């Protein structure tokens, strides 16, 4: 590893740790401001989260995450979603298959029960 790579990694680690500490401080402030109004408490909490988010987004890991999120959004836009009719048809096919399998398993269970208890053991 080069010296600049190690320095960048250490800088990123400290930025993430700082963001985590700010989140913890925002939570502590939210509970310490219990006697203040809800607006002040929420402002402290959301303000702390926003500052931590900005610090995390400026780090190298944060920049990679933002790039990943943008690529994910562009990929989701390429997906061809099924129509309502297609979704309904597939749902009905699944339900029908479940009913058929339930009947098959019930019949198999009763057949095995009859073979074991009536024929082999002679209980009925």
In tens, the pLDDT along 73-84 reads: 999 999 999 999
Which are the contacts of 82, defined by CB distance < 8 A and separation ≥ 6?
A: 90
- If one compares 18 and 95, the residue with the highest pLDDT of the two is 95
Whole-number pLDDT of residue 1: 53
- Cα separation of 47 and 42, whole Å? 8
Task: Tell me if the pTM is above 0.85.
Answer: no
With CA atoms as reference, report the closest residue to 61 among 114, 17, 123, 118.
Answer: 17
Whole-number pLDDT of residue 72: 96
Whole-number pLDDT of residue 8: 60
- If one compares 123 and 124, the residue with the highest pLDDT of the two is 123
Whole-number pLDDT of residue 95: 98
- Cα separation of 3 and 119, whole Å? 81
pLDDT band at 40 (very low <50, low <70, confident <90, very high): very high
């Amino acid at each position: 590893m080069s010296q600049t790579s190690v320095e960048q990694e250490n800088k990123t680690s400290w930025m993430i740790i700082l963001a985590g500490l700010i989140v913890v401080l925002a939570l502590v402030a939210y509970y310490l401001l219990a006697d203040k109004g809800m607006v002040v408490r929420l402002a402290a909490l959301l303000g702390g989260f926003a500052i931590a988010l900005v610090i995390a987004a400026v780090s190298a890991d944060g920049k990679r995450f933002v790039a990943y999120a943008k690529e994910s959004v562009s990929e989701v836009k390429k997906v061809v979603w099924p129509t309502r009719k297609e979704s309904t048809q597939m749902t009905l096919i699944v339900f029908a298959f479940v009913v058929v399998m339930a009947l098959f398993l019930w019949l198999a269970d009763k057949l095995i029960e009859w073979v074991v208890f009536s024929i082999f053991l002679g209980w009925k």
